[in-house]
Structure 1
Amino acid sequence: MEDRTAVKPRKADKVHNDKSAPEPEVEELRTLKTSRAMQKCHKLVEHFKHSPANAAELLSNCSENGQQLDPLIQDVSTRWNSTLSMITRLQRNKDALRAALDLHQQRSTAAMLTNAEFEKIKKLETLLEPCRYVTDLLGGEQYISCSVVLPALCHLFWVMEASDDDPGYVLRFKVAFTTDLSKRKESTNVQWLKVATAVDPSFKDLQCLPRSEREEVWRLIKEETAQQANKETREPEPPKKKMSLLLVASDSEDEGEAAADTSVDRYRAEPSISMEVCPLKCWSEHAGAYKSLAPLAQEYLATPATTAPCETLFSLSGHIVQKKRAALPSDNVNRLICLSNWLKEKK
């Protein structure tokens, strides 16, 4: 069976340690991670995370000053999302961290970031935030995600466009990121993603594609709907003794192609729907008006953009089935996984 998953998952974390569909970690990001500013961030978080006494003093200092402390997050070298989470929390707690370090300046091995370094990591946060948004968007399972892949990639390319105001390190990051992302896009089934985007009434204008490629997408859709229409209108083969009576060729195939073309043209002429409306629900309601196009759209849109939700369940089962729980029967494992997933959705 053909694997129609648009994007394969790699290691990535959300802010709350949920697995999601990641974006690639480019070489320039690894360089930024090893920069002086990022090393200071790592040591600063380590100073408070690895010492209960330091963590208690930081929390007490925040309470005395009427500040709310967001828990610090330590970055992991293999997960770029953890880097984004770390610098986001550091900026939120900047004043509290500075005050706590000033109280114990002599015995503290961690150093506070300068204003210039905070400006640098803030710029990095601005670059990575759209990536986190796309990661969460494509890793969702409560909505249609396959038709969002190309618009999301288009958004990332737009965000990473070089500007004359960009510092040197930002410019190098953008160039490396777009180069890497372009290679990964070429390795996906782009033609399938184009059709999936077109049959989503929210994105059927195909603004994420160049104008020169849009008509080719509609041509492919017309071909597939014509094949679907021909299958529906095809009648059972008559007995062999009556084959000699069929002196005139049937024109049902031409009629099917014409009906498919008309169906696609009517769909294109209709206004786009809001992104808040479920495309599958829309096609279900209009299946009678688009008998050949609706099944095609439902087939494409029912495919998830990534396998991240499935990978999350596999990871969850790995946490449940451990050495101490090796005797758990498979039925109980399934029940525990379902309960965990249901409780998560309830929250």
Structure 2
Amino acid sequence: MSSPVWNFFKVSEKDLKLFVCKTCNMQIPRGGNQPRQFNTTNLIRHLRTRHTTEYGYEYEKQARIPKTPVTQLTINETFRRLEPYSRDSKRWRDITTKLIEFIGLDEQPLSVVENTGFRRLISFLEPRYAPPGRKYPTDVCLPQLYETVYTHIDRLMKDNVTSISFTTDIWTSSACPMSMLSLTAHFIDPNFQRHNLLLHCQEFTGSHTADALAGAFGRMFESWSIPRDKVHAVLRDNARNMEKAMRDAALPSLPCMAHTLQLVVSEGVLSQQSISDMISSGRCIVGHFKHSPLAYSRLHDIQKQLGQTTRKLQQDVPTRWNSSLYMLQSLLEQKHSLSAYAADYELPCSFTSNQWKLIENMTSLLAPFEELTQQISSSSATAADVIPSIKALTRLLEKTADSDHGVKTSKTTLLEAVQRRFADIGSENLFVVATILDPRYKERYFPDHLKPHLRDVLRDVVAALPGHGTQQPISLKACGSKSPQKKKSAASSVQAMFAELVDENEKLRAEESPLTSQINLYLSEPLTPHSGQPLAYWQANKERFPALAEGARAYLCTPCTSVDSERLFSTAAHVMDEKRNRLTSKNAEMLIFKKKNLPFMLEN
């Protein structure tokens, strides 16, 4: 903070070693010949002796700052401040807590605390802190932080959950002989914020039978004290053991939409011999470059000569149909480069002009499936997207396009597979009600003759939700409806009938239940844009449609895929890699649990 003395003096323009008093223009020495010797002592003395008024009322008022006494540290205190922190000190515990958070959030091995580079960094940043060995974070810090995060997640669920959905999957590590079973929870809080939390990623030993899976799920739900009546749905894959396990555990379940699309494409396109041979040839071409740096170098030189961006070809994964699409697209993109390469060098196989055309048409045919897969795999996708997405995909496959040449049979087979695999979605109440409660869709994707029945289904489902009886009904007056007018004396019998018909209609409207009124008003309003956010709509309209808003919290929390569980295993693969292949299953679960859930606690 600058001294208030500068309000009364300025530096001389002729000699920097002098001050000039703004009141009397007297020149006063600054206290030395070098800048480091300059001070304000002479200035304060000048104010005291020559300008008592200014000094007494102005300077002292501005300089009235509490002064802290300066005390010199004793020798013992000085040495004590150089001593390393004891493990009982708050500073040491706080740094260690941040250290274990760093290990969990950045997927670092617990042994990082013993690495030379890490210890040198810590010693430079805080010389008084001595990091513990790996045993202390493993045995003490990790369980303590796990319990802290567990308590936070448990409280978050108990305070906000009225209905909850789950996703689950099984993963086997390639680094060690361990399989893990996951369970992630999805719910919407009263402020219409979506929460996706990891509850379990535990070791699953033995055979993956339906009985073993059902028992594991039962224990998972018991450990979190989750009532079965709050379980809305569990998203799973299409495996028969998983489907039977859900039935045996008395858990409502739905198949993952992304897995079903995988089956549709596999049996509708990839199972055809001509397509399968074409993909196999593409796999050989990509493999040729993957296993030969020299071949890749030559291909890159050709790409530069042709003015193309140097890109690598993509290898496919047989269990992911879209990876085969990416491979074909990368081959098609490098068509001219590959042709030039084949003119000078040997390739294990090549495509004919008809095959190149088939690849082009096949990528066009599968592009909508890839677009749909990306949409339903987003974190905001819900069960409400299933029926509209399949309706749109079916209509697209029914249309004729110029790119159908050579793939008409595949297109027909795809359409049949879609219709067969998704035949039951229209009879699944969860999909139906979720679609209606999404303001982007409502009942517009259903046939007209079913719409009256759909309103009855929505009314019955919402009325059965817990706490519906406490909702305040929306008033017809607030919605702009006019109050019925009194019956006037009719001038003729026909006029009397007019009035009687109007009165009967008003009586029927008056007898409508508050919930029915909410449903009718909600469905009569225009749809929100497809790019809109359904939860933002319900947050803004929960006062107008209180009962329907509770229904939206229950039904829009359900995802349409089990992608969250699959993404979880990417984290598991980083935690259980070749450097940590001896990590116990208990410590692995705590590290994964902390990695996925700790950010939710830090946000608060």
Task: Name the structure 2 match of 1:244.
Answer: none
Cα distance, 1:279 vs. partner? 0.9
1:4 aligns with 2:233: yes
1:184 aligns with 2:438: no
Task: Name the structure 1 match of 2:437.
Answer: 199
Task: Name the structure 2 match of 1:307.
Answer: 562
Q: 1:77 aligned to 295, 309, 318, which one? A: 318
Deviates more, 1:158-167 or 1:169-178: 158-167
Structure 1 residues 204 and 299, CA, compared in 2 at 3 Å: closer, same or farther? same
Structure 1 residues 195 and 312, CA, compared in 2 at 3 Å: closer, same or farther? same
What CA deviation, in whole Å up to 9, does each residue of 1:155-197 have, x standing for no partner? 2212222649786862332332233223322355632111111
Helix, strand or coil: the match of 1:47?
helix
CA distance in 2, matches of 1:36, 1:327: 42
Amino acid at match of 2:583: A
Cα distance, 1:312 vs. partner? 1.5
Structure 1 residues 290 and 296, CA, compared in 2 at 3 Å: closer, same or farther? same
Task: Name the structure 2 match of 1:102.
Answer: 343
Task: Tell me if the contact between 2:300 and 2:311 (Cα under 8 Å) persists in the aligned partners.
Answer: no
CA distance in 2, matches of 1:164, 1:53: 42
Task: Tell me if the contact between 1:160 and 1:174 (Cα under 8 Å) persists in the aligned partners.
Answer: yes
Deviates more, 1:86-95 or 1:255-264: 255-264
Amino acid at match of 1:212: H
Task: Tell me if the contact between 2:361 and 2:403 (Cα under 8 Å) persists in the aligned partners.
Answer: no
Cα distance, 1:8 vs. partner? 3.7
Helix, strand or coil: the match of 1:4?
strand
Task: Name the structure 2 match of 1:121.
Answer: 359
Amino acid at match of 1:38: I
Task: Name the structure 1 match of 2:494.
Answer: none
Task: Name the structure 2 match of 1:153.
Answer: 390
Task: Tell me if the contact between 2:468 and 2:547 (Cα under 8 Å) persists in the aligned partners.
Answer: no
Amino acid at match of 2:372: V
Cα distance, 1:308 vs. partner? 1.0
Which residues in structure 2 correspond to 1:49-60 (within 5 Å)? 49-60=290-301
1:214 aligns with 2:446: no
CA distance in 1, matches of 2:420, 2:559: 21
CA distance in 2, matches of 1:76, 1:124: 18
CA distance in 2, matches of 1:256, 1:313: 51
Task: Name the structure 2 match of 1:268.
Answer: 523
Task: Name the structure 2 match of 1:174.
Answer: 411
Task: Name the structure 1 match of 2:545.
Answer: 290
Structure 1 residues 34 and 273, CA, compared in 2 at 3 Å: closer, same or farther? closer
Q: 2:287 aligned to 46, 64, 69, which one? A: 46
Structure 1 residues 124 and 7, CA, compared in 2 at 3 Å: closer, same or farther? farther
CA distance in 2, matches of 1:276, 1:168: 33
Helix, strand or coil: the match of 1:305?
coil
CA distance in 2, matches of 1:21, 1:339: 28
What CA deviation, in whole Å up to 9, does each residue of 1:235-280 have, x standing for no partner? xxxxxxxxxxxxxxxxxxxx99611110101101111111232111
Task: Name the structure 1 match of 2:302.
Answer: 61
Task: Name the structure 2 match of 1:26.
Answer: 267
Amino acid at match of 2:308: Q
Task: Tell me if the contact between 2:384 and 2:434 (Cα under 8 Å) persists in the aligned partners.
Answer: yes
Which residues in structure 2 correspond to 1:222-261 (within 5 Å)? 222-228=459-465, 231-232=469-470, 258-261=513-516
CA distance in 1, matches of 2:402, 2:540: 49
CA distance in 1, matches of 2:462, 2:598: 41
CA distance in 2, matches of 1:338, 1:6: 20
CA distance in 1, matches of 2:539, 2:401: 48
Cα distance, 1:125 vs. partner? 0.7
1:133 aligns with 2:362: no
Question: Identity of paired residues, percent?
Answer: 24
Task: Tell me if the contact between 1:146 and 1:304 (Cα under 8 Å) persists in the aligned partners.
Answer: yes
CA distance in 1, matches of 2:288, 2:599: 33
Matched pairs, number: 309
Aligned-residue Cα RMSD (Å) equals 3.3
Structure 1 residues 177 and 282, CA, compared in 2 at 3 Å: closer, same or farther? same
Task: Tell me if the contact between 2:257 and 2:560 (Cα under 8 Å) persists in the aligned partners.
Answer: no
Higher strand share: 2
TM-score in terms of structure 2 length: 0.46
CA distance in 2, matches of 1:5, 1:299: 13
Structure 1 residues 297 and 164, CA, compared in 2 at 3 Å: closer, same or farther? closer
Amino acid at match of 1:194: V
> Which stretches in structure 1 are left out of the alignment for 5+ residues?
11-18, 235-254, 342-347
TM-score in terms of structure 1 length: 0.77
Helix, strand or coil: the match of 2:440?
coil
Helix, strand or coil: the match of 1:26?
helix
Amino acid at match of 1:223: D
Helix, strand or coil: the match of 2:289?
helix
Deviates more, 1:279-288 or 1:210-219: 210-219
Task: Tell me if the contact between 2:575 and 2:591 (Cα under 8 Å) persists in the aligned partners.
Answer: no
Task: Tell me if the contact between 1:137 and 1:145 (Cα under 8 Å) persists in the aligned partners.
Answer: no
Pick the structure with greater CA Rg: 2
Helix, strand or coil: the match of 1:186?
coil
1:86 aligns with 2:327: yes
Task: Tell me if the contact between 2:384 and 2:556 (Cα under 8 Å) persists in the aligned partners.
Answer: yes
1:277 aligns with 2:532: yes
Deviates more, 1:325-334 or 1:82-91: 325-334
Structure 1 residues 50 and 212, CA, compared in 2 at 3 Å: closer, same or farther? farther
> Which stretches in structure 2 are left out of the alignment for 5+ residues?
1-227, 240-255, 473-509
Structure 1 residues 4 and 274, CA, compared in 2 at 3 Å: closer, same or farther? same
Task: Tell me if the contact between 2:315 and 2:327 (Cα under 8 Å) persists in the aligned partners.
Answer: yes
Task: Tell me if the contact between 1:138 and 1:146 (Cα under 8 Å) persists in the aligned partners.
Answer: no
CA distance in 2, matches of 1:193, 1:7: 15
Amino acid at match of 1:155: A
Helix, strand or coil: the match of 1:38?
helix
CA distance in 2, matches of 1:257, 1:289: 16
